[in-house]
């Protein structure tokens, strides 16, 4: 695994030693960031970003390399957290990123001043985690109005977005789909 673009282009990241952590491939990551640059007017630069089910932290590291202001990485797995920490340390990004161990389906209210303009969700495929995480982000007030949310999921898994998200497009790459949605702030029912 390596950083594809930005100030750390070409730098190598530590990868998982177990199949319990499934990182986004270099090729798909490159495709994703090309789409963001060319179709979405570079929503990463100067943004606060969320990397949920962060795994190795490669998405957040790539975003920070390309000019994101801050990255919050949500990851429950202890081995993955250690991997993320090692990758952030290697790139000298510990002052621009924070790792939180928590259940993304139960985030609770946002406890920081700045909301997030971009979120990337890469849950374990086919486990029905996308909808509860999106609902948790909405109920907790985590996202800026109009925030771009990208979801990586198995191409075979149908995704249903809560009412507070508007589907923009879905792109399929082999066995993987990338779904792009915009957050539409609305009432937060308890």
The pLDDT tens digits of the residues spanning 78-104 come to 999 999 999 999 999 999 999 999 999
Tell me the domains of the chain and their CATH numbers.
31-183 (3.40.50.150)
**DSSP string of 118-154?**
EEEE-PSTTSS-HHHHHHHHHHHT-EEEEEEEEEEEE
The pLDDT tens digits of the residues spanning 126-184 come to 999 999 999 999 999 999 999 999 999 999 999 989 999 999 999 999 999 999 999 99
What is the reported pLDDT for 190?
A: 46
Token readout for 102 is 């928590």
3-class SS of residue 157 = coil
């Amino acid at each position: 695994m390596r950083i594809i673009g930005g100030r750390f282009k070409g730098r190598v990241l530590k990868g998982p030693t177990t199949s319990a952590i499934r990182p986004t491939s270099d090729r798909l990551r490159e495709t994703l960031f090309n789409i963001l640059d060319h179709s979405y007017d570079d929503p990463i630069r100067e943004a606060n970003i969320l990397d949920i089910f962060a795994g190795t932290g490669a998405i957040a590291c790539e975003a920070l390399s390309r000019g994101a202001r801050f990255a919050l990485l949500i990851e429950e797995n202890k081995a993955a957290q250690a991997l993320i920490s090692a990758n952030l340390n290697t790139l000298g990004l510990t002052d621009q990123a924070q790792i939180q161990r928590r259940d993304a389906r139960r985030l609770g209210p946002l406890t920081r001043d700045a909301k997030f303009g971009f979120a990337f969700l890469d849950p374990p495929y086919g486990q029905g985690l996308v909808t509860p995480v999106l609902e948790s982000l909405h109920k907790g007030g985590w996202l800026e109005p109009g925030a771009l949310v990208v979801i990586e999921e198995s191409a075979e898994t149908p995704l249903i977005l809560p009412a507070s998200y508007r589907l923009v497009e879905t792109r399929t790459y082999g066995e993987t789909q990338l779904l792009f949605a915009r957050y539409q702030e609305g009432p937060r029912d308890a």
